Amino acid sequence: MSSSSVWVAVVVAVVFFWAVGAYNRLVRLRTSVRASFAALDEQLMRQLVLVQASMPEAFRGGAKTLPGELQDIVTAAWTRLQAASDQFGAALAQARRMNMDVASMASLVMAHEALRAAWTAALAEAVPPEAVPSAERLQERWLRVLHQAMPLRAAFNDAVAQYNEAIHTFPAWLIAKAFRFLPAGPVSRLTEAR
């Protein structure tokens, strides 16, 4: 075997082992994104359960009307909250199936914003002052669940940033292109309390 063929074999071996290492790193980063989303998903489900448990019985399970003694504005507030809850549940289910998809994450963020707005409106318009639990207690619970999700959101966004950086960095992007590693979407505004 000539020295040039040895050098070619060494170069091919180095490139091969680099490619395997780069591929494994991308797989690890993708797995990290998925694991981070699983933890965040659990907290988001807690938010959804809190919202659904706070609605009057007549609205649980998708009913859209309350007894006649309640005012139209109250009915409208609970109806908006039920619709936002359903939308958020659907967006969360889609994000669970496609947690690396930018559009799914954007849809989740928008659905969460709609849920937050409907929650705030329902507390202001539909929860009577003598209600147990009161609007203030419900808001405290909501904020507690939001704050518990913040570190999980940050961990997910960090994992997404590392993954996206890795698939766009030369020469690893060659492996990313060859094996169809697509960019992931962050959930930037998902749990901000306003």
Report if residue 187 sits inside a domain: no
- pLDDT band of residue 3 (cuts 50, 70, 90) is confident
Tell me the pLDDT of the chain averaged across its residues. 88
Digit-coded pLDDT (tens) for 86-116: 999 999 999 999 989 999 999 999 999 999 9
Q: Residues 6 or more apart from 184 whose CB is under 8 A from it?
A: 30, 33, 99, 100, 101, 102, 105, 160, 163, 164
Which residue do the tokens 């809850």 mark?
85
Q: Structure tokens of 19? A: 């490619």
Identify whether 190 is part of a domain: no
Residue 66 has a pLDDT of 47
The residue-averaged pLDDT of 124-129 equals 78
Expressed as residue numbers, the domain containing 28 is 3-178
Kindly state whether residue 56 falls inside one of the protein's structural domains: yes
Q: Domain count for the chain, please give it.
A: 1
**Is 16 a domain residue?**
yes
Question: Is 192 inside any structural domain?
Answer: no
- Residue 189, in any domain of the structure: no
Whether 100 contacts 184, CB under 8 Å: yes
**Residue 63, pLDDT above cutoff 60:** no
* Residue 160 within any structural domain of the chain: yes
What single-letter DSSP state applies at residue 61?
A: G
